[in-house]
Structure 1
Amino acid sequence: MISLKESIRVARPVEECFEYTADFRTTPEWDATAFKARKISDGPVGMGSQFVVRCKLPLGSIELLYTITEFEAPNMVTLQVESWLFSAVDTIYFTEENGETRVDYHADFSYKMPFAALEGALKTGMLRMGKSALRGLKRALDDSNAPPKISSGSARADRLLWPGLAMFSKWGYRRGQKRWSPMSASLKGQTMVVTGASSGLGLATARELAERGAELILVMRNPKRAEAVVSELKVETGNSAIRAELADLSIMAEVDALADRLLKAGQPIDVLVNNAGALFNDWGTTSEGLEQSFALLLLSPWRLTRALHPLLKAAGQSRVVNVVSGGMYSQKLRVDRLEAIPENYAGATAYARCKRGLTVVTEEWAKSWEKDGIVVNAMHPGWADTPGVESALPAFHTLTRLILRTPEEGADTIVWLAAASEASAVSGKLFLDREPRTTHLLSKTREDDPEREKLMAFLEGFELETSIAA
């Protein structure tokens, strides 16, 4: 048997240290040998939870099955580890001492035959890996990551266009993942609003934020689906602070009513995720007479975010995350074309133009709201396999399905912008895979300052028209 005993100290509450470490899906963030982890049991992390962690070997890899056999939050967790190569028992203790948390990691390894005969020779390497993992855990819990910046490889790919587009695939996600820093920030006590949470990116975002302890307000339009999503997330995550708000965000009266309800409740909002959207292949108008793409994709997030500004400001340090699309790279901002007309209508083009407009709005809000402590960023998820993509772009979905990202991979940067400590250090940027990226792959799509000013005045005009009508 090989025994490992290591200790670290971190300036974090014991509850946060326990919650991060006991969820062994985090192991790839702090153990250099681990590169993939998932929870295979149902329900929140606790007694009996099981995780599969894949780790590197000198030749190939190995899959480890972790089972929680003792769970005394927030002070101790024990996991039984099984693989074809060895068995182990990991016990981790968490103790509050002088305003810090001491983490004691005890592990006993037993190699299986015929490798047991080599235990003595393997001991030094195992102890070295254990020490390295604990240093990684300390780094993760210290949560002092550098502000995000684009890598030289990503900047070069963007300049060359096609390599930049290739990064929208699942391979781009996996490439970026190799450079990511741990994300251990606790979201307990934070109120977050996520629009379009019934499926796809919104649901994946809501699930991850709920796992991390955020109090969630999920905006959906279908009452039955909303009830099901809230119920499912509560059971899956053990987080009871989740509720739904019903609103069809393509209807400005419902946007206003939603904002009024939230304003009357008076709860400061720490994060607002503007995710709701759809690609309409056929031209149409809403019941209020607005072209539907423009209403849902641009005017709605503009109107909702502006209305909720007092609650965002009241939070002290808050964030707005605007979900856009890589399709916007094909379009230049032309304010007079934001409301599409029936002649020569193309749903993908209308979608891309509105997302281009929302990106510009993101940059303008970041400048004007900096004094209010509100960080505003945009992200695009790459090519993700969501119900919306499958139904609206069936040909694209068929051609690219082997390289599409999962909804969770597409939503990762939304979660990171909402949760990561270092993500609050920059504002007014467009992100892909946790990196700030260029907003223009083609020089011909760049707008000038007068057009940006025209956009802001155009959107302002809709609020003035509504207030006059009221």
Structure 2
Amino acid sequence: MTILREVITVKRPVDEAFAYVADFTTTIEWDATALKAVKVTPGAIAVGTRFLVTCAMPVGSIDIEYTVAELEIPNRIVLSGKSKLFDIEDTITFATVSGGTKINYQAEFKFGPLVGSLSGMMQSGLDKMGRESLAGLKKALNNRFPAPKYDGAANVADRLIIPKLARFTRHGYTRGRKHWNPISADLRGKHMLITGASTGLGHASALELARRGAELTLVMRNPIKAKAVKAEILRETGNENVAIEIADLSLLAHVDALAERLLSAGRPIDVLVNNAGALYNERLETSEGLEASFALLLASPYRLTLALKPLLQAAGRARVINVVSGGMYSQKLSVKNLVSDTSDGYSGSVAYAKAKRALMVVTRHWASAWRGDGIAVNAMHPGWADTPGVQTSLPLFHAITRFALRSPAEGADTIVWMAAATEASKLSGQLLLDREPQTLYLLRGTQEAPAERKKLLQFMEDFAPVDAPNDAAQKQAHAG
């Protein structure tokens, strides 16, 4: 038997440190040898919960299946692991000390007969692995990471179209994650509202944020799907703090009714994720007479966010996350051409991109105007993700690129990071992909003039909620 022992002290309350470590999927964030970590049993973490962790070896990798053998919240967890080469028992204890939490980590290895004879030779390597892993855990829990910055001079991809587009693929996601910091922020008690949570990015975001302990309000159009999503989240994560709101966000009357219900409840909103969207291949009008792409992709998040501003302010240091699209890089803002008034020459993908470009301009304006309100406003685009919307609305694109598309969870990762990471609160007015700020304009000639931004903001005033808070800055030209 080989035994490793390490002790660290972190500046976090014991319950937060325990909650982070007990979810052993976080191993991939702090253990340099962990290549992959997934929870393979549903429900809240309890005795019997199993995790599959893939670890790097000097040659190749090895899968270790861990089972929670003992659980004393928030003081002790014992995980029993089995692999082809060895069995392992990890005992991790947590105790409150002055200034934080003391964590004792002990790992007992039992090697098979072929490997056991080499255990003495392996001791120094195992000791080093243990020290490095606990150093990584300490760094993760101390949670002192700088906000990422955009360095246009260093980012060659932003000056070359093909490399930039390559970053939208799964390869771009894999490239980006090599440099990511852990997310150990405690989300318990944080109220997050996500629109369009039935499938795709919204669904993936909801599952991951629920797993991390956030309290969710999910807005969906279909009551049957909504009920199924809520049940799935409870089944998979054990998180019971999930509320459902039913609304068709392409209709401003539904947006108003939703906002009225939320304002009446008075519950502060820590994070608002404006994700609901659809790509219409044919020009459609809503029952309110608005072109559907404009209504759902721009007027709706604009109206909802303004209406919910009091709840964002009440939360203190709230965050608004507007989901846009890399397609916006192809479009220059034109208020005159923003809303298609005829089916002649209508393109769903162009209408989608125009609305997202306009939403990016609104995002930048709010970030500037609301700085004094303690509300960070950013946008993200998910790259090219294999979502139901892409499959049905862009079948040719999906057929050509499906080998390189990201999973919905990979596409949603930046939403989760923007909602959860402590350092993300330091950003405002940014466009992010793979947790990194991006250029706002990729093609020459797509940058709008300040006068066009002012025109957009004046145009959008007609779609503000009737009783929206008086925001004098909203009527100023956006110079950012």
What does the per-residue CA deviation read over 1:371-404, in whole Å, with 9 as the maximum and x for residues that have no partner? Answer: 0000000000000011111010111111111111
2:184 corresponds in structure 1 to 184
Q: Given the alignment of the two structures, is residue 62 of structure 1 paired with residue 50 of structure 2, yes or no?
A: no
| Structure-2 change in CA distance of 1:153 and 1:405 (3 Å) | farther
Letter in 2 for 1:37: A
2:127 corresponds in structure 1 to 127
CA distance in 2, matches of 1:186, 1:39: 19
Matches within 5 A, 1:321-470: 321-340=321-340, 341-463=342-464
Letter in 1 for 2:455: K
What does the per-residue CA deviation read over 1:158-184, in whole Å, with 9 as the maximum and x for residues that have no partner? Answer: 111210110000010000000000000
Contact 1:155–1:437 (8 Å) recurs in 2: no
1:28 corresponds in structure 2 to 28
Q: Given the alignment of the two structures, is residue 295 of structure 1 paired with residue 295 of structure 2, yes or no?
A: yes
Note the residue ranges of structure 2 that are not aligned, 5 or more in a row.
469-480
1:268 corresponds in structure 2 to 268
CA distance in 2, matches of 1:155, 1:26: 30
What does the per-residue CA deviation read over 1:145-200, in whole Å, with 9 as the maximum and x for residues that have no partner? Answer: 11112467972111112101100000100000000000000111111100000111
Letter in 2 for 1:100: G
- SS at 1:103 equivalent: strand
CA distance in 1, matches of 2:115, 2:237: 39
Letter in 2 for 1:401: R
- SS at 2:336 equivalent: helix
1:155 corresponds in structure 2 to 155
1:91 corresponds in structure 2 to 91
What does the per-residue CA deviation read over 1:227-259, in whole Å, with 9 as the maximum and x for residues that have no partner? Answer: 111122122211111010111000000001100
Note the residue ranges of structure 1 that are not aligned, 5 or more in a row.
none
What does the per-residue CA deviation read over 1:46-65, in whole Å, with 9 as the maximum and x for residues that have no partner? Answer: 21111111111122211111
Letter in 1 for 2:385: A
Shift of 1:68: 1.0
- SS at 2:28 equivalent: helix
Letter in 2 for 1:91: T
1:304 corresponds in structure 2 to 304
CA distance in 2, matches of 1:126, 1:85: 14
CA distance in 2, matches of 1:129, 1:151: 34
CA distance in 2, matches of 1:170, 1:381: 11
1:283 corresponds in structure 2 to 283
1:106 corresponds in structure 2 to 106
CA distance in 2, matches of 1:77, 1:441: 49
Contact 1:154–1:164 (8 Å) recurs in 2: no
Letter in 2 for 1:280: Y
What does the per-residue CA deviation read over 1:97-138, in whole Å, with 9 as the maximum and x for residues that have no partner? Answer: 234111100111122121111111000000110011000000
Query: Which shows bigger deviation, 80-89 or 136-145?
Result: 80-89
CA distance in 2, matches of 1:179, 1:123: 29
Letter in 1 for 2:89: V
Letter in 1 for 2:448: E
- SS at 1:334 equivalent: coil
Shift of 1:461: 2.1
Contact 1:150–1:435 (8 Å) recurs in 2: yes
Percent identity for Structure 1 against Structure 2: 56
Shift of 1:466: 9.9
Shift of 1:459: 0.4
Shift of 1:438: 0.5
Contact 2:42–2:237 (8 Å) recurs in 1: no
Shift of 1:37: 1.2
- SS at 2:464 equivalent: helix
Contact 1:226–1:244 (8 Å) recurs in 2: yes
Letter in 1 for 2:463: F
TM-score scaled to structure 2, two decimals?
A: 0.95
Shift of 1:19: 1.1
Contact 1:191–1:269 (8 Å) recurs in 2: yes
Shift of 1:2: 1.1
1:72 corresponds in structure 2 to 72
- Poorly superposed stretches of 4+, deviation over 6 Å: 151-154, 464-467
Q: Given the alignment of the two structures, is residue 209 of structure 1 paired with residue 215 of structure 2, yes or no?
A: no
How well do the aligned residues superpose, as a CA RMSD in angstroms? 1.4
TM-score scaled to structure 1, two decimals?
A: 0.97
What does the per-residue CA deviation read over 1:422-463, in whole Å, with 9 as the maximum and x for residues that have no partner? Answer: 001110000000000001111211111000111111000233
CA distance in 2, matches of 1:391, 1:213: 32
CA distance in 2, matches of 1:309, 1:180: 31
Contact 1:88–1:108 (8 Å) recurs in 2: yes
